[in-house]
Amino acid sequence: MTNASRRQFLFLQGPISPFFHRLGVLLRARGHGVRRINLCLGDTLFWPEPAVDFTAPFGEWAGFIQDFLARHAITDLVLLGEQRDYHKQAIAAAHALGVAVTVTDFGYLRPDWIILERDGMNRDSRFPKDPAAILALAEGLPPVDGEKRYLDDFNQQAKWDVRFHLANLWPGKFRHFKTFLLHHPVPAYIGTGLALLRRPGLTRAAQATLAALPEDAPRWVFAMQMETDYSIRAYSDFPDMDVPIGKAVESFARAAPKDGHLLVKVHPLDPCIKPWPKLVARIAARHGLPGRVHYLGAGNLDAMLRRARGVVTVNSTVGIRALQLGRSLHAMGDAIYKVAGLTHADLDGFWAAPPPDPALTDAFLRGIAACLHLRGVYYREPGLTAAVEAAAERLERGLVGVALP
């Protein structure tokens, strides 16, 4: 490998998993430089080798990271959560210095896909929003491989997540760390744990609600998201989930068929710190829709989508599944799929909107699969190794955000 082809990688915060460390080890074995900055005690648990610890107040971070990138001739910055405060300043410094920025996260496609994308996701994605450009990009790309290759491990994910966040409650030298969490982890974990324990009963209640709906009545799904998710906090104009639910219900009362029903489905990992059943019922009553708006605390979302005419969401990946099933779609936020022909722009008109354009949908799915995704998972073998190897290949060859030749 020539000096010109040798890259210098800097890893910031990533998945709460060995993924980043193993990726760094592999890139170093291939002859590249690899560095890491830890921002909190939890970071040190998932990078078991020497790294630079940033322990100063947040106000010193912008100058520190700019100097670090320049001093070490960093060519590639790799991170998860591009809207975290530390990461936003790091990305700004990287762009000023011509450093390539790669972000990763769970895939827009599910379940065993991972994103590897330039600069950002959703609103900040480089993927084209023009239908003609999407159709042109997809020419010659293979169909999306829908076969499930890898299983992930939710129990392992939960264990590592708890380990990371509880470590940060005793920060030691990282006492100045500015967390990206909205809620204290302890009540969030308690709420999530209680919701998981109650899931069998919630599932039965959801099934009873769905069974009571008139068989021939039209129905739509509002797919909730977690308020802690940066797709809500950064890629929408909404401060919480209450507001978009209220807007959707208001429009439903005004413009949807009078025999229609709206199913408000909670995110399966929502900690339920807010009393969603009461809040949704209150919103429905305010717009004169008791009996037509239904909160579902659990249940098979895919089965709901197959029976529904369409989906309203802010920018959830449920929107991608709606496209795959040919359901009409309205995105209230800055979703990557907010493209004319895929989504219906006007909420009041959405309730009578046709399905998405099939050719454009196929091109969009082929494009994001080939350009923005790799196969693998963060928490279980062999999918973890597959993800590490695929990510190393793209990073080494500078093929992030484009289809492999």
- What topology is assigned to 3-152+372-394 in CATH? Rossmann fold (3.40.50)
Predicted confidence (pLDDT) at residue 41 exceeds the cutoff of 60: yes
CA dihedral 123, 126, 132, 137 (to 10 degrees): -140
Report pLDDT digits (tens) over 255-306.
999 999 999 999 999 988 899 999 999 999 999 999 999 999 999 999 999 9
Beta strands 100-106 and 113-118 are antiparallel
CATH of domain 169-365: 3.40.50.2000
Rounded mean pLDDT of the chain? 95
Q: pLDDT over 70 for what percent of the chain?
A: 99
Q: Are 12 and 37 in contact, with CB atoms under 8 Å apart? A: yes
Predicted confidence (pLDDT) at residue 134 exceeds the cutoff of 90: yes
CA distance 385 to 103: 18
The packing angle between helices 383-397 and 19-29, to 10°, is: 50
Predicted confidence (pLDDT) at residue 24 exceeds the cutoff of 60: yes
pTM for the model stands at 0.95
Q: CATH 3.40.50.2000 residue ranges in the chain?
A: 169-365
Per-residue pLDDT, 240: 93
Report pLDDT digits (tens) over 320-330.
999 999 999 99
Report pLDDT digits (tens) over 142-198.
999 999 999 999 999 999 999 999 999 998 999 999 999 888 888 888 888 888 899
Per-residue pLDDT, 182: 80
> Up-side HSE of residue 60: CA atoms within 13 Å toward CB?
9
Strand partners, 106: 114
pLDDT confidence band for 405 (50 / 70 / 90):
confident
Per-residue pLDDT, 2: 52
Q: Are 152 and 380 in contact, with CB atoms under 8 Å apart? A: yes
Predicted confidence (pLDDT) at residue 30 exceeds the cutoff of 80: yes
DSSP 174-240: GTT-----SS-HHHHHHHHHHHHHTHHHHHHHHHHHHHTS-TTS-EEEEE---TTSHHHHTSSS-SS
Per-residue pLDDT, 154: 94
Please give the sequence-ordered ranges of beta strands (E in DSSP) within 39-87, or none if there are none: 52-53, 76-80
Q: Are 88 and 101 in contact, with CB atoms under 8 Å apart? A: no
Per-residue pLDDT, 251: 98
User: In whole angstroms, how far apart are CA 76 and each of 23, 144, 263, 274, 391?
Assistant: 13, 29, 44, 40, 13
User: In whole angstroms, how far apart are CA 321 and each of 111, 132, 172, 338?
Assistant: 11, 22, 43, 14
Q: Are 5 and 395 in contact, with CB atoms under 8 Å apart? A: no
pLDDT confidence band for 4 (50 / 70 / 90):
very low
Per-residue pLDDT, 107: 97
Average pLDDT over residues 212-236: 93
pLDDT confidence band for 1 (50 / 70 / 90):
low
Output Rg (C-alpha) for the chain, integer angstroms. 22
List the one residue out of 301, 302, 316, 298 whose CA is nearest residue 196: 298
Q: Report the Cα 315 to chain-centroid distance in Å.
A: 9
The better pLDDT of the pair 183, 210 is held by 210
